[in-house]
Amino acid sequence: MPEQHAATGIDETHDAGLRSWVASANQAGCDFPVQNLPHGVFRRGGRQEGWRGGVAIGDQVLDLAAALDAGAFSGPPATACGIDAHAASALALAAAAPLNGFMAAGQASWRAVRLALSRALRAGSPLEAALAPHLVPQAAVEMGLPATIGDYTDFYASVHHATTVGALFRPDAPLLPNYKWVPIGYHGRVSSIAVSGQRFPRPRGQLKGPADAAPRQAPSARLDYELEMGIFMGPGNASGDAIALDDARSRAFGMVLLNDWSARDIQAWEYQPLGPFLAKSFATTISPWVVTMEALAPYRVEWSRAAGDPQPLPYLDEGDARATAALDIALEACLETARMRERNQPPARLSVSSFKHAYWTVAQMIAHHSSNGCPLQPGDLFGTGTQSGPAHEEAGSLLELSLGGKQPIELPDGETRTFLEDGDAVVLRAHCERAGFARIGFGDCRGEVLPAR
């Protein structure tokens, strides 16, 4: 359906009626049905093998490198699945680790791989016999970072989060005058980014309370999570060139969950005048499977500005694309305490929200980031900033949920929290669903706090 794809991004790969010959992909509530097909980098646990590119399908990983080496994507069965020279070349990029080369290849290659894999993994595919030996249980693999991340920028794209947190830090001016005009961001620390399962010691830093005569260095007592989405960049731009908004829509490769762990007491002392530094540079956790923008096409919704808010400047105006510029991604943050783990209790839900509430779109963030001529590169990572909704229970951080530590949160087992304690693990989850389309998910993004060193 090329004409349909050009208009909406929706094609045969999104058909809700599709089933896979991988049985687990057809189970209700599965994050990775055949309509998803996210990309990641993995290796088998306990083996001396290199990292390779794979695709999640059900509870399995399709080892693209092994399948290609075995010639599984060649011959008459592959031709019957529509795998031509372009698709085969793009599959080779998707099989390599890291995925920077595939991310750089652009939208035509991403779509070719998605269509090829969709046809190859559907029930009745002539490639089932060739590909089945190259499935690996997700429980048996180690996941790596999807790309070599050259740069990491964290935005501040939730007006609800910005307003609530601003009121805690600056009661007299919760939302600074520039917020509704410009996508705010700061440069993050790439070396501290890791995939789900990250465990890190509680950070130390300079702390100074309102009544303290001088700061002291100590472990953070107000450690927090931030419920965010991450965006992996596709083709970049030359230094000095700006990416126009219309072009920016096709430059994002895909999205992950992102936890921008934050030490609020360190942040409160250091953030003026230049913003976050050591309060956020100690750890950032992402989910390992990158859900492509093509997979997210059915879940696009209208983006708009509230009445009375300024309209974006021309270079940030979504124009006719406003009807599909936002993404309805349901978000969830859960807490697993050490006591819950000991008792085999499930994590407790802290909050739910949706990425549809973001004040700035993915394309606007890319266009603004490059608007001064900043060169972006394939594999660069953008954080969206904490995604909070308009209601209190939709807050994406403990800072908001506990009202700055003044209102403890009671957990189902009777424990309470204002901020994170040693041994706490935060689990972020996300999924998309819409009538007439399949439910797809992102997998877990889990990180655990260890005692300070």
- Residues involved in catalysis: 161
How far does Cα 413 stand from its chain's mean position?
Answer: 30
- For residue 149, count CB atoms less than 10 angstroms from its CB and return exposed for 0-12, middle for 13-18, buried for 19 or more: buried
Q: Which two tokens stand for residue 319?
A: 């124009």
Give 398's contacts (C-beta < 8 A, 6+ positions apart): 224, 225, 350, 409, 417, 418, 419, 420
Angle at 357 between CA 355 and CA 360, to 5 degrees: 90
Q: For residue 298, which amino acid is it?
A: P
Grouping H, G, I as helix, E, B as strand and the rest as coil, residue 237 is coil
Grouping H, G, I as helix, E, B as strand and the rest as coil, residue 156 is coil
Q: Which two tokens stand for residue 453?
A: 């060193």
8 Å CB contact between 245 and 363: yes
8 Å CB contact between 63 and 52: yes
Which position has the token pair 């601003």?
A: 166
How far does Cα 274 stand from its chain's mean position?
Answer: 26
Give 292's contacts (C-beta < 8 A, 6+ positions apart): 37, 38, 39, 110, 114, 253, 254
Rounded to an integer, what distance in angstroms lies between the CA atom of residue 41 and that of residue 287? 11
Give the bridge partners for 440, in sequence order. Answer: 432
Rounded to an integer, what distance in angstroms lies between the CA atom of residue 223 and that of residue 279? 9
Q: For residue 99, which amino acid is it?
A: L
H-helix or E-strand spanning residue 426 = strand 425-432
End-to-end, the C-alpha distance of the chain in Å comes to: 57
8 Å CB contact between 112 and 243: no
